[in-house]
Amino acid sequence: MAAEAQSVVGAAREFLAEKYKILDKFEEVMNISLSGIEAIFSSTDIQVASEDAVYNFLLEWARARYLEPEERREILSSRLLPLVRFSHMTCAALQEILACTDDDIDREQVTKRINEVLLHKAYPTQMEGALAADVSTLDWQSAERTYGSKHVKAVAFDRPYPQVIVYMDLTRAECSGFFPSGVILSDWFNLAGQKFYLMANWYWMRRQVVQLWPLVRDIWKFYLRLVVFRY
């Protein structure tokens, strides 16, 4: 009987994970039970806007479901926050979490995980061996989900004057998917105290070319455009 019950529970979890595989709006799962939330967000196959959005939703869901502060903190600490893949959150969001004074989360637990992720992002080679030796802190190795926005990378220079280059890597397949009207947005990032994001898409550009013949032809060229927007 126990095995049959476990089988039914497993099937229900698989059903929920498949049903909400493409999660455009988190409102769709606000009324789902705790076990259902665990089934959905423990999956690598779900498609979400970003891991930042997953973290914010789980906080919102817990606050709506558990009104008692101690119970809410326990549920977040033991059941919900372990579902968050901190290694795939933006550095800006991680730094905001470290700076906030939210009593709903276990500050020591979350700070430890975020510091490990930030160290690994900054020093991947040096930290890999140290973190791998501790089997309790393998968040940085967690698989990446399918996100609606791309991570950005930043390189800072001091010379010839202070400057930062922000970019995102795009595969050939992603670039091919732009035609005729595809768009890829980056995660937001902070520069000089302001929030920005990148948008990559294709656009047509008209060029007038005079040939040797007594003809003037309009030629349309296809370009990859990268635009910076203020958040």
164 shares its domain with 128:
no
pLDDT (0 to 100) of residue 78: 94
Same domain, 35 and 120: yes
Do residue 59 and residue 117 come from a single domain?
A: yes
CA distance 162 to 164: 7
Q: Which of 116, 141, 166 is the C-terminal boundary of a domain?
A: 141
Are residue 23 and residue 132 in the same domain, yes or no? yes
CA distances (Å), origin 58, targets 14, 75, 95: 20, 10, 18
Task: Let me know: does 67 contact 46? Beta carbons within 8 Å.
Answer: no
> Is a pLDDT exceeding 80 seen at residue 165?
yes
Pick 11 or 97 by higher pLDDT. 97
11: domain range?
2-141
HEC string of 214-231? CCEEEEEEEEEEEEEEEC
Confidence of residue 203 (pLDDT cuts 50, 70, 90): low
Identify whether residues 59 and 168 lie together within a single domain.
Answer: no
User: Do 132 and 152 share a domain, yes or no?
Assistant: no
Does 216 share its domain with 156?
Answer: yes
Q: What is the mean pLDDT of residues 53-76?
A: 95
**Which of 183, 151, 184, 182 has its CA nearest to residue 167?**
151
pLDDT of residue 73: 94
Q: Is the pLDDT of residue 210 over 60?
A: no
Q: Check residue 21 and give its pLDDT.
A: 86
Greater pLDDT, 169 or 193: 169
Task: Compute how many other C-beta atoms are within 10 angstroms of the C-beta atom of residue 183.
Answer: 11
Segment 83-91 mean pLDDT: 89
Summary mean pLDDT of the chain: 78
Which residues are paired to 167 by β-bridges?
153
Domain match, 225 and 202 both:
yes
In the chain, how many domains are there? Answer: 2
**C-beta separation of 134 from 113 below 8 A:** no
- Which residue in this structure is represented by tokens 């500050």? 107
pLDDT for the residue 10? 72
CB 140 within 8 A of CB 114: no
pLDDT at position 143 is 84
Look at residue 65 and tell me whether its pLDDT is greater than 90: yes
Comparing 76-85, 139-148, 158-167, which segment has the lowest mean pLDDT? Answer: 139-148
The C-alpha atoms of residue 18 and residue 16 are separated, in whole angstroms, by 5
The pLDDT assigned to 208 comes to 47
The residue among 141, 176, 211 that closes a domain is 141
Residues ≥6 apart with Cβ < 8 Å to 137: 112, 113, 116, 131
Asked if residue 194 has pLDDT above 90, the reply is no
- In the predicted structure, residue 14 carries a pLDDT above the cut 80: yes
13 and 98 share one domain:
yes
Are both 32 and 135 inside the same structural domain?
Answer: yes
Domain boundary among 141, 171, 204: 141
Same domain, 174 and 128: no
Same domain assignment for residues 34 and 122: yes
